[in-house]
C-alpha cells in the first residue's frame, strides 16, 4: 500500500483547521489534497489527538503480528492433520 504524503500530525492539523471554521474546500486547496482524501482522513482520524494515532499504529502492528501467528498455526495444524490421517504414510 502506498504511504501518504502527510504524517498523522499533519492530517490531524488539517482536521483541526476545518473544525475551527475554515471551509473544507479552502483546507483542501491550501494543503493540496482532494476533498475525497480529506473525508477519508476525517473518517479515520476524526476526533483523535497525535498520541491517539501513535496508539492506533501500535495496535495495528500488533494486530498484524497476531494475524500472521494465527495463519501459521492454522497451516501447521492442517499439515499435522493431513499427515496423521494417513497413519504416517505420505498421501500424494
Using the structure block, give the residue that is written with the C-alpha cell 473544525.
19
Question: Considering its fold, how many domains does the chain have in total?
Answer: 2
Give the side-chain half-sphere CA count within 13 A for 54.
Answer: 4
Say if residue 1's pLDDT is above 90: no
Q: pLDDT, tens digit, for every residue of 48-64? A: 888 888 898 899 999 99
Are 70 and 43 in contact by the 8 Å Cβ rule? The answer is no
Is 92 within the bounds of a domain? no
14 vs 4: which has the higher pLDDT: 14
- pLDDT above 90 covers a percentage of the chain that reads 62
The answer to whether residues 56 and 44 belong to one domain is no
What's the confidence (pLDDT) of residue 79? Answer: 87
The answer to whether residues 57 and 33 belong to one domain is no
**pTM (2 d.p.):** 0.62
Q: Print the domain residue range for 15.
A: 1-48
What distance lies between CA 79 and its chain's CA centroid? 31
- Mean pLDDT, residues 13-25: 94
Amino acid at each position: 500500500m502506498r504511504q501518504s504524503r502527510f504524517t498523522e500530525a499533519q492530517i490531524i492539523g488539517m482536521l483541526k483547521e476545518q473544525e475551527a471554521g475554515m471551509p473544507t474546500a479552502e483546507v483542501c486547496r491550501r494543503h493540496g489534497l482532494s476533498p475525497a482524501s480529506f473525508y477519508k482522513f476525517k473518517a479515520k482520524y476524526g476526533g483523535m489527538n497525535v498520541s491517539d494515532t501513535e496508539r492506533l499504529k501500535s495496535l495495528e502492528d500488533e494486530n498484524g503480528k497476531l494475524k500472521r501467528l494465527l495463519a501459521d498455526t492454522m497451516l501447521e495444524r492442517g499439515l499435522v492433520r493431513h499427515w496423521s490421517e494417513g497413519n504416517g504414510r505420505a498421501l500424494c
